Amino acid sequence: IWQLSRIHHILKRPQPPFRQATTAVAPPSNNNLIQLEHEVQQALANGEPVVALESTIIAHGMPYPQNVQVAKEVEDILRKQNVTPATIAMHQGVCRIGLSQDELEDLAIAGTEGRAHKCSTREMSTFLMRSSFPQNQLLWGATTVASTMKLAHLAGISTFVTGGSGGVHRGGEDTMDVSADLTELARTPVVVVSAGIKSILDIPRTLEVLETNGVPVYGWQTDEFPAFFSPASGVQCPDRVDSAEEVARAFHFARALQMTHGCLVGVPNKDPASGASVEAAIQSALAAAEEKGITGPATTPFVLKTVAETTKGDSLKSNIALVKQNAEVGGMIAKAIAETKV
């Protein structure tokens, strides 16, 4: 039902080095594998700033109804900056760039009802196949950092705001559980604005993998790589930026050099969950995951949920605050990318 030839065409389209990053590359047709919401399509066509948002954080990262409240608030924060938000997900055999308020609500409920599937890049094509069957019309494909980056890029969106990115899991040197988010950061030119990566992961090894893959990592007005719930990881950040213009200029230089990589901007959380109790909760959640045999893609949602329960909502409150903060920064970066040339 979708037109693969069109997608092939998009992927093959040559990209001149100074192409405005906000130019829409997806066809405007609604009858397509990638559907842009009208508002998003208009903004991209006019060269106005657009910020992509992921759906795993909604479906699997937070409980209902906080998840949908945050999703809507983050969109509002961006609109107040005259930036168009585009929450990305997959539904009924189609990739969606921009969701309505009712759809955000349904996605958030789908997370609690088991109708949402966590889809990183590996799962995307399989989910599209399954969800195009009539009996699967209620399913949502919740996109992670990796798959949201991919779809944002196909749609012509250069900036993406999330909570935390994936990375190398603790013990990853044995399990080889390394998030596809890192692979996508190496091969897809999208700026990912996050609060760093949380200490359920191995931060130093994550930074090593990013270095190997040539991905710039910036601390936002900080020298220390942020650790999601806390601004303090004890790990030096590879580089530091103090303004959105710096990110935009570096982004455009990377395009001018025809490099494929995106970059990771780590914004220190100004509303940290109380450090010691969260760290203890993370330790016990990781132990519980091991005891229950929870591994792979199920790990992050399980640990987040368990930590939120153990800290009696303290970690959730901090999680919500940091996502909003990231939206403020991401909006500025999207504007700078739309305005800056090198």
Residues in region 122-181 near ligand PSU by CB under 6 A: 144-145, 163-166, 179-181
Torsion angle of alpha carbons 102, 104, 108, 109, nearest 10°? 20
Q: Select the span of 25-33, 54-62, 252-260, 272-280 touching ligand PSU (CB under 6 A).
A: 54-62
Instruction: For 235, list phi and psi in degrees, rounded to 5.
Output: -110, 130
Two tokens at 158?
């250069």
Give Cβ neighbours of residue 315 (< 8 Å, ≥ 6 apart). 229, 273, 278, 281, 304, 307, 308
**Residue 173 among the catalytic residues:** no
Please, what is the minimum distance in Å from the beta carbon of residue 114 to ligand PSU? Answer: 17
CB 36 within 8 A of CB 24: yes
Catalytic residue among 54, 75, 184, 224: 54
Window 225 to 254, contacts with ligand PSU (CB under 6 A): 228
Binding-site member from 56, 199, 230, 326 for ligand PSU (CB under 6 A)? 56
**Contacts to Mn ion by CB under 5 A:** 177
Task: Report, in Å, the least distance between residue 298 CB and ligand PSU.
Answer: 8
Exposed / middle / buried, residue 4 (Cβ in 10 Å: 0-12, 13-18, 19+): exposed
Q: Which does 147 bind (CB under 5 to 8 A by kind): Mn ion, ligand PSU, none?
A: none
Our CB check for Mn ion shows the closer of 119 and 320 to be 119
Told to check if 190 binds ligand PSU by CB under 6 A, we report no
Residues 6+ apart with CB under 8 A from 4: 33
Q: What are phi and psi of 109, to 5 degrees?
A: -70, -40
Beta carbon nearer to ligand PSU, 43 or 152: 152
Alpha helix segments (H runs only) across 86-144:
101-113, 121-131
- Residue 220 carries which side chain, given as an amino acid letter? W
Per the CB < 8 A criterion, the answer to whether 147 and 192 are in contact is no
Which of 177/202 has CB closer to Mn ion? Answer: 177
Examine the residue annotation and report whether 198 is marked as an active-site residue of this protein.
yes
Catalytic residue among 118, 123, 184, 198: 198
Query: What is the per-residue DSSP string for 142-187?
Result: EE-HHHHHHHHHHHT--EEE-S----BBTTHHHH--B-HHHHHHHH
User: For ligand PSU, which is the closer residue by CB, 75 or 123?
Assistant: 123
Of 19 and 205, nearer to Mn ion (C-beta) is: 205
60 to 99: interface string for ligand PSU, x by CB under 6 A: xx--------------------------------------
Of positions 41, 81, 87, 120, contacts ligand PSU by CB under 6 A: 120
Annotated catalytic residues are: 54, 198
List residues near ligand PSU by CB under 6 A. 54, 56-57, 60-61, 120, 144-145, 163-166, 179-181, 198, 228, 297, 300, 304
